[in-house]
Amino acid sequence: MKYKRILLKLSGEALLGKNSYGIDNERLLDYAKEIKELHSIGIEIAIVIGGGNIYRGLSGAQNGIDRVQADYMGMLATVINGLALQNALESINTPTRLQTAIKMESIAEPFIKRRATRHLEKGRVVIFGSGTGNPYFTTDSAAVLRAIEINADVILKGTRVDGIYNEDPEKNKKAIKFDDISFEETIKKGLKIMDTTAFTLSKENKLPIIVFDINIKGNLTKVVSGEKVGTRVFS
């Protein structure tokens, strides 16, 4: 395998499946099975999930809720998703730990870098909830930050699109896909892969990002094995 320790970033919307709100249990179990397949061959896996399927802080702020309060509500949504994924993984005998940036001792461990790293070394999947624990930061930023802290080899951003294009492929079928692209080129072309803070942090720490379609069975394993799936962003 090309990568030994990965950080998988899943959007909250990825858990919607066929639903318009909440969690599609079939989709959740599909993801859990893909993760278990990697885990069974010894890959160390950390995961950050968004909360947009339940509550998006920025949307709440636009609707009149205080931005800080709205962001904390969004962080709680990511913990709900983390608990759901933890349950799905453990239902198929994959050991996990859920750690949160906001203390919730009754349901999760507090995030401690050394403890998270030790869990990974012992073969446990580690799920990071509640983002960075701070308002005004997205779960993309949390994903990059946690990846750096645990010394991940790569960030895998699972989406519903099979990579990065010069235009939105859902709007323009003639959009051109990039197999590999540098951080500098993505900035020059104005391609929106992650929010600016997350992207800059990844670029400065020379941490590659691979954007791929998480909904195609087997893609996750193919990406980790080094096959040409999705788009790789590199320094």
- In this predicted model, what pLDDT tens digit does every residue of 73-107 receive, in sequence order? 999 999 999 999 999 999 999 999 999 999 999 99
- Condensed to tens digits (0 to 9), the pLDDT of residues 101-152 reads 999 999 999 999 999 999 999 999 999 999 999 999 999 999 999 999 999 9
- Condensed to tens digits (0 to 9), the pLDDT of residues 157-209 reads 999 899 999 998 888 989 999 999 999 999 999 898 898 999 999 999 999 99
Please state whether the predicted TM-score (pTM) of the whole model is above 0.75: yes
Domains of the chain (ranges; CATH) run 5-234 (3.40.1160.10)
Amino acid letter at 233?
V
* Environment class of 32 (CB within 10 Å of its CB; exposed 0-12, middle 13-18, buried 19+): buried
